Structure 1
Amino acid sequence: MLMSSSERIPLMKRSIFWLVILIMIAGATYIYEKDLFSNGLEAITVSTNGKKLPIYRVNTDKPMVALSFDAAWGNEDTQKILDILKKYKINVTFFMTGGWVESYPDDVKAIKASGHDLGNHSEHHKHMPQLSNSSICDELNSVTEKVEKLTNTKMCLFRPPYGDYNNALIEQAKNCGYYTIQWDVDSLDWKNYGVEPIVNTVLNHKSLKNGSIILMHNGAKYTAQALPKVIEGLQEKGFQIVPISKLIYKDNYHMEPDGSQVKD
């Protein structure tokens, strides 16, 4: 049945009305999504550019990696670790808390005498971004004074407890004369899974490359047992193992957003 002219006109008006509504909705959605994308990109850019980063790894063509040990608890295997390192003729970095330094002064001296880096791991192993600037300085200076008294060594490397940091912490550490150091290869030795898991985690880590910094713990249960295989495996891959002080750039560098230290 055909519509009359009087019936078609209202239908056309309704169609035009809904078409206009759909166009308006589509336009509003486009503007919203455009603004959302722009604002999100701006937020990411500000966050990336404004955040101070510690050194996770070093951008280098040289086949070098650094082994590091956090010393915050336990001491049963420290001498074993030192003996293994001596056997393979390599030097590493030990990051020590003030409590550990105070409890094991002879081991601090032995680490220094063996030619290894002495690094600051804070006095009380707190979440330091939660501290005031003055408290941050106290946490760093206390360890520095103890180590300097024992070894006549002025430390310049700092690893935040738990890997926890913010801009203020890195800035205060810098003011105190420290390079803030993280890691890009975690051995997971602290999980006490066993020797082979430690070895496999390090040697097959997706981030392992020239300039990597490897995290281990002198107080973990299986670290000393796994260490020879870790060293041999790294050397078989062609890496020279060095202390962090021999790996990082001391000046004329910048940090990439992924935590890589790049020479200018």
Structure 2
Amino acid sequence: YLRYLQPPWGNDDTQRILDILKEHDVHVTFFMTGGWVESYPDDVKAIYEAGHDLGNHSQNHKNMSQLSDEEKTQELMSVHEKVKELTGVEMQLFRPPYGDYDDAVVLNARENGYYPIQWDVDSLDWKDYGVDSILNTVLNHKALGNGSIILCHNGAKYTADALDALLDGLKEKGYQVVPISQLIYKENYHMDVTGRQIPDAK
């Protein structure tokens, strides 16, 4: 899976990314901040209409573990309501900013109807090292395997340039890219020490 973090500061590549995903008949998950949703409502609708997951990346991109329970809920639900108003979607996937979480963040997200999501393959596209770096980092990543979640960023300089070859490379390795809503277990699972979901024995 690919997941796209929508940073609050950029939108130059959204349509190009959507076009490439469509060419490959691939659906992914876009995690959006409240500021991004407010700035680019038409793109939120375009992502939804193209069949991709809409995910919550908080209102203000703060370290969630440093906030009170009430503030955590506000960070989640203000974006939730904005996206619901635009698309009718009740989002269920939450990617904590900076990957910063603790038990309280996880419990708060669950109480608000969200599944917290982390990644295990960081494309490092945000470092702007170039297309080859993105491809090498992802396709040769030691953690890449069934169930992997790949982190990419819409506002990074080379991500759109790398995407076509990245999708081809993943397919050549035998992987099918799906949105996170189709990847995760929603019930009857436990977590291993790496944070992977393991289905409970029947």
Q: TM-score, normalised by structure 2?
A: 0.98
Matched, 1:138 2:74: yes
Structure 1 residue 147 displacement after superposition = 0.1
Write the letter of the residue equivalent to 1:69. Answer: Y
Within the alignment, does 1:149 sit opposite 2:85 as a pair? yes
Corresponding residue number in structure 2 for 1:236: 172
Larger Rg: 1 or 2? 1
SS in 2 for 1:101: helix
Q: Aligned pairs, how many?
A: 199
**Residue number in structure 2 paired with 1:168:** 104
- Equivalent position of 2:157 in the other structure: 221
Cα deviations by residue, 1:154-211 (Å, 9 ceiling, x for unpaired): 0000000000011111100000011100000000000000011001100000000011
Instruction: Specify the code of the residue in structure 1 equivalent to 2:2.
Output: L
Residue 21 of structure 2 corresponds to 85
TM-score (normalised: structure 1): 0.75
Counterparts of 1:68 and 1:82, CA distance in 2: 13
Distance, in Å, in 2 between the alignment partners of 1:211 and 1:228 is 21
Q: Which has the higher contact order (CA 8 A, sep 6+)?
A: 1
**1:105 maps to which residue?**
41
Matched letter for residue 115 of structure 2: Y
Q: List structure 1 runs of 4+ shifted beyond 6 angstroms.
A: none
The 1-side partners of 2:163 and 2:11 are apart by 16
What 5-or-longer segments of structure 1 have no aligned partner? 1-65
Q: Aligned-pair RMSD on alpha carbons?
A: 0.5
- Residue 4 of structure 2: aligned partner: 69
Q: Secondary structure at the match of 1:171?
A: helix
Higher helix share: 1
In 1, the alpha carbon distance for the partners of 2:79 and 2:183 equals 23
Letter in 1 for 2:10: G
Q: Which runs of 5+ in 2 are unaligned?
A: none
Report the Cα offset of residue 257 of structure 1: 1.2
